[in-house]
Amino acid sequence: MITPEHLEVIGPELAIRWSDQSEDYIPCERLRAWSPSAENTGERDLLGRKYGGTDQKTFPGVTVRGWRTIGGYAIQFDFSDGHNTGLYTYDYLKAICAEAAKG
């Protein structure tokens, strides 16, 4: 499993160096928009009905203020708008970095 070795906020982006020595850069606003939290995406019951979530897709000016490793599988970010409930698994974080690099 590829794991993040170093994270750093550089201007409006989060830079990540991975254990395979690759690097990714993702805008903090996009990282916030793609938060996998129930606050962002909502929750589904057994019948598939969605509860909660938000329709907000952009978060202008939001930055990353800090983060913490959760177990050996995820990172939880603290955003400048107060959001901090999303757990970004390493695989998910790598995938959204790749998506952000596409433009």
Domain boundaries, the chain: 4-101
Give mean pLDDT, residues 9-15: 97
Q: Which position has the higher pLDDT, 50 or 18?
A: 18
* pLDDT score at 51: 84
Is the separation of the CB atoms in 44 and 34 below 8 Å? Answer: no
Q: Give the integer Cα–Cα distance in Å for 31 and 27.
A: 6
Q: What is the pTM of this model?
A: 0.90
Q: Which of 75, 64, 62 is nearest to 5 (CA)?
A: 75
Query: If you search the block for the tokens 């959204």, which residue do you land on?
Result: 96
One of 3.90.209.20, 1.20.272.10, 3.30.930.10, 3.30.2020.30 is the CATH number of 4-101, namely 3.30.2020.30
pLDDT of 22: 97
C-alpha distances out from residue 27 to 31, 32, 51, 72, 103, Å: 6, 9, 28, 24, 11
The per-residue pLDDT for 56 is 81
- Cα→Cα distances 38→14, 18, 70, Å: 22, 27, 17
What is the structure's pLDDT at 49? 87
